[in-house]
Amino acid sequence: MSTYLTADRFGTPTNAKKYTIALWFKLSKNTSNHILSYNYGNGQRGFLLSVRSNDQTLRVNDFTAGSTDHVDVRTNRTFRDYSAWYHLVVAYDSTQGTAADRVKIYVNGTQETSMATSTYPSQDLDSFIATTPQNNKGFLVGALYNGSGNIDAGNYFSGYMSQFIFADGTAYAASTFGSTDSNGVWIPNTGPSVTYGTNGFKLDFKDSGSSAAAGNFGSDSSGNNNHFTGNGVGTYANVTDTPQNNFSTMNAAANYYASATFAEGATKLTSQGAAYTYSPNSIGVSAGKWYVEVKIGAGVNNWFGVGIAEGESSNASGVLGRDTYYPAGNEFGQIGWYGYGSDFVYQNDGYYSGSTSDYDTSGYTTGDVLGLALDADNNTVKFYKNGTVQNSGTAFNLGASSSGFWHFAFGDYDGANAGSHTFQINFGNPAFTIASANSDANGYGKFEYAVPSGHYALCTKNLAQYGG
């Protein structure tokens, strides 16, 4: 989504030789995910923090004219887990005597020491993030400027951010912002003790809106009133997906055959014309009862479907593979399918022959909300339309999964007749507007319709309880 935040330089830096960037982020697709830039690409000099599209490594770059990198530090670590939140800290302190100590990168509380590139600043070098920007091209969250000084179209951050902090004048360790819990999981410190300095800010992204005024997405909660302005095309949205409770999304790394387009933090998918498309969600389950809603968008026809697919047997994480997706003449593997045409159809083996038993003769159309209630304990699924259970409430038997994992899956299942379809998936973390706010029995998630009894939103707090 082409949304981003902008702010000019706020004042003379507290200390141009020291700063800290800290945030939580969750990626939704493999693009050039620009996290923070400052005057980058705009003539003489700039700063860029990003996850690179070509290899999914993280890069910290201070750049000047003539292709001179005063700082170019890039990790060997890759960021390809689209189901996970990452916590990132970049601490710059050019006063340090040891070059490698002048730029420190922490991921989930652990300092990165293996680097693909390691150009560190000379001692006592002022960072370009602290310099006066050219043409007032200052801070950008989620984008960067091109060589002409305009927003670089098509290169935006795609995913989620939380607790975005910039501290001007101090280099902090990761322990300031989080800690390891009893399960060995890095968790956020929601009230870190930080001296922000003149140009520092803290973005909590709590409220809707696009202005720089307090109470909107660009509102600075550090006390400095260093507010940002929302820009670009698209919708800003708060979601229930947080580092403390991670919800499933779709899996951009498992986007098979003719790739679908992901948007809104991998909760909105658009299939690609007359071709097979297939995408599973990011978290496979082996137990428990789970509920998901799908809002039907434009372009529905006879070849669009949503359902349940089994995970790849060779992958212990339950991620689907191409062999499961398209085994010899049996599209999508073992799947409970909810198709559109003259009737709803259910296909236990996932094979479409054009002659299937009726599921519901009413069909579905743009704006309808389909519900999927998966019982992974008993390998069954029920389907709902606009809150009404289908097939008189009788569940369909999926059979046993050879891998032990089930996924929610979506796509076009006839390449010769498919079209371009848009659909929005709600695992309890909607990035789109819903009229209601129904939660599960544990109080998690926001759904359009009541969650079926005994079923839950697919999030880590529920997974921990039910062992899914």
Q: What does 127-169 look like in DSSP terms, one character per residue?
A: PGGGSPPGGG--EEES--B-TTSSB-TT----EEEEEEEEEES
Helical H segments across 303-411, by residue range: 322-325
pLDDT score recorded for residue 158: 81
Give yes or no: residues 396 and 332 share one domain: yes
Domain assignment present for 197: yes
Domain assignment present for 243: no
Residues in contact with 65: Cβ distance below 8 Å, sequence separation at least 6, in sequence order: 43, 44, 45
Positions of E strands within 8-152: 18-27, 33-38, 45-51, 57-64, 68-78, 86-93, 103-107, 110-111, 115-119, 139-141
pLDDT score recorded for residue 312: 52
Give yes or no: residues 143 and 59 share one domain: yes
Domain assignment present for 241: no
CATH classification of the domain holding 342: 2.60.120.920
Give yes or no: residues 211 and 71 share one domain: yes
CA distance 340 to 409: 15
CA distance 408 to 200: 42
Give yes or no: residues 223 and 286 share one domain: no
pLDDT score recorded for residue 443: 92
Give yes or no: residues 105 and 208 share one domain: yes
Q: Is the distance from CB of 340 to CB of 307 less than 8 angstroms?
A: no
For the chain, how many structural domains are there in total? 2
CATH classification of the domain holding 68: 2.60.120.200
Q: pLDDT digits over 405-446, tens only? A: 888 887 765 555 556 677 888 999 887 788 888 999 999 999
Give yes or no: residues 267 and 215 share one domain: no
Torsion angle (degrees, nearest 10) of CA 47, 51, 57, 58: 40
Domain assignment present for 196: yes
Give yes or no: residues 120 and 180 share one domain: yes
Give yes or no: residues 39 and 158 share one domain: yes
Q: Of 172, 199, 232, which residue sits at a domain end?
A: 232
Place of tokens 């998630």: 445
Low-confidence ranges of the chain (pLDDT < 70): 1-2, 40-45, 64-69, 134-136, 147-148, 154, 207-216, 232-239, 241, 252-260, 262-263, 265, 272-278, 300-305, 311-363, 412-420, 468
Give yes or no: residues 282 and 216 share one domain: no
Give yes or no: residues 266 and 173 share one domain: no
Domain assignment present for 76: yes
Give yes or no: residues 51 and 176 share one domain: yes
Q: How far is CA 465 from CA 183, 243, 335, 430, 458, in A?
A: 14, 17, 26, 22, 11
Q: Of 232, 247, 274, which residue sits at a domain end?
A: 232
Give yes or no: residues 269 and 368 share one domain: yes
Q: For residue 281, how far is the Cα from the chain centroid?
A: 12
pLDDT score recorded for residue 10: 78
pLDDT score recorded for residue 361: 44
CA distance 29 to 49: 17
pLDDT score recorded for residue 319: 35
Domain assignment present for 285: yes
Q: Are strands 380-385 and 396-397 parallel, antiparallel or unpaired?
A: antiparallel
* Structure token pair of residue 65: 């004219």
Give the DSSP H/E element, type plus range, for residue 426. Answer: strand 422-426
Q: Of 200, 232, 264, which residue sits at a domain end?
A: 232
SS3 content of the chain, % helix, strand, coil (to 5): 5, 35, 60
Domain assignment present for 148: yes
Domain assignment present for 44: yes
pLDDT score recorded for residue 101: 97
177: domain range?
A: 3-232
* Structure token pair of residue 214: 């307090």
